[in-house]
Chain A
Amino acid sequence: MLLQKSIRSAVLALVAAGLFAGSLPPARAQSEASALSALSALPVASVVVGASAAAGAVVAAPVLLSTAGTVLVVKTVESTARGTVFVLERASDGAAVSVEVAGRGAGSLLVGTGALVTVSVIGAGTLLSVAGEVLAFIPNALGQALLFNERVTR
């Protein structure tokens, strides 16, 4: 009886050890149940109006960024104290817009001049993407209300 119990215990431990360590599915970015999200660093951006951008402020997206499916070309990329400013241009007519991504978004570092940026419009704001990854999210008032992150305890 004791032996049976110990074997069951050993099996449980071994299976746990083996499965947890060695049989994981191929790496993909699906979350664990309660893990701190690796995606939480959404690169929030704002439209540069005139000479300054108010990071985090709600600024109505210009027409250029209000039409889903619009494709823009990155004309310039400039690092600033607050983050990165991208000048984006519509190829058909040369209309341009500047957006400033706060901080150092993971995608910002990889995007250079000439990259194609796709505009998507969702209920919470505008998404600018390069090759299926988010370059910047420009929240509207609802989007601003949905985004907040504070670590409360150590």
Chain B
Amino acid sequence: MKLMNTLQHGCAIAVLALAALASPAAHAGRSCAAPQPPKTATVERAMTLAARTHQALEASGARVVVLARSGQDLGKYGLRYSHVGIAYRQDAGQGGHVWRVLHKLNECGTAVSAIYRQGLGEFFMDDLWRFEAAWVVLSPEAQTRMLAVLQDPYRATVLHHRPYSMVSYAWGQTYQQSNQWAIETLALAMQVDSVRTPVTRGQAQAWLQGHQYWPGMLHIDAVTRLGARMTAANVAFDDHPSAQRFSGNIETVTADSVLQWLPRAGLGQPMVALGL
């Protein structure tokens, strides 16, 4: 029985590995396979959403918000947003300022990621599933702490971990998805005042666990269906605890769970949504 177990497991892993090897060809022609000329309708809507978000953020008086977008349809899984970044006001000289978003992006077709600083236009310049922005204005203390981190090139990126899985385990350190980087960096900001006090991902995650952060739970059907929109290269399950993985319960940092957590933990105001 045990041999069978091992064989079947090994076979499944082999199939998964083969699929991963074969996937680039299967995904040729997707948006991440080659740059597409931007569609007029998409750019019009994205820039309009960016402009309206800019105006609303200006009117809010906020300096730092957690900003979300809907890059793909996750409605079947009870999720509305797919990705968050940290948006903040940055001095632009001569008394002016601009809004910038620091966020983590997966390089298409790969299992790695990088941190980008983008304007609101680029943040929404995508073929979004839904042209809607959502944000949570951080509490005054969280804004002050986060702004200090965002302006410090070392602390802003020190918890970035390049290996990427779209469904990385919320409490794991093998991979790191985008929303996970955002809240781990927020946890870093909330924990230390010293510019060079080292904080590990483990410490950041322990802080999150102690401050009412509850990851989203994707059940097997959700993961497999969600998988239809994924490339094999940026999806891995091997960082999840075996018991949860085998029962198909994938615990990961969803954008919705972040937006719900911040007000619950007293770290931000209630979420604001703005759609076209």
Contact = CB atoms under 8 A, between A and B. Distances in A.
Chains A and B form a bound pair: yes
A132 B106 CA distance: 28
A51 interface: no
Interface string B214-234: 000000100111011111101
Contacts of B237: 12-13, 16
Most buried by B among A17, A29, A146, A150: A146
Interface string A107-150: 10010000000101011110101001110010000110111111
A21 B232 contact: yes
Contacts of A14: 12, 15-16
B264 interface: no
A100 B5 CA distance: 64
A36 B116 contact: yes
A20 B228 contact: yes
B47 A24 contact: no
A38 B108 contact: yes
A134 B23 contact: no
B44 A133 contact: no
Interface residues of B, number: 98
A109 B31 CA distance: 19
Interface string B5-16: 100110111011
Interface residues of A, number: 68
B71 to A, nearest CB: 5
Most buried by A among B38, B50, B51: B38
Interface string B231-242: 110110100000
A42 interface: yes
Contact of B115 (A30, A110, A152): A152
Contacts of B34: 38
A106 B227 contact: no
A127 to B, nearest CB: 6
B224 A15 contact: yes
B260 interface: no
B139 interface: no
Most buried by B among A24, A33, A106: A33
Interface in B116-136: 116-122, 125-129
A92 interface: no
B107 A36 contact: yes
Nearest to B23: A21
A18 interface: yes
B22 interface: yes
Interface string B82-112: 1100000000100000111011111110000
A42 B19 contact: no
Contact of A20 (B40, B177, B231): B231
A150 B90 CA distance: 14
A19 B228 contact: yes
B9 A10 contact: yes
Nearest to A37: B126
B37 to A, nearest CB: 4
Given A8-B246, A16-B237, A19-B228, A145 B98 contact: yes
Interface of B: 1-2, 4-5, 8-9, 11-13, 15-16, 18-20, 22-23, 26-32, 34-44, 46-48, 50-52, 54, 71-72, 74, 82-83, 92, 98-100, 102-108, 113-122, 125-129, 153, 156-157, 160, 162, 166, 177-179, 220, 223-225, 227-232, 234-235, 237, 245-248
9 contacts: A5-B5, A6-B8, A12-B237, A25-B229, A36-B108, A42-B125, A134-B38, A152-B114, A153-B115
Given A5-B5, A13-B16, A147-B122, 16 more contacts: A6-B9, A8-B246, A17-B16, A32-B71, A32-B231, A33-B72, A33-B74, A34-B178, A37-B31, A124-B121, A127-B44, A137-B47, A143-B121, A147-B121, A149-B116, A149-B118
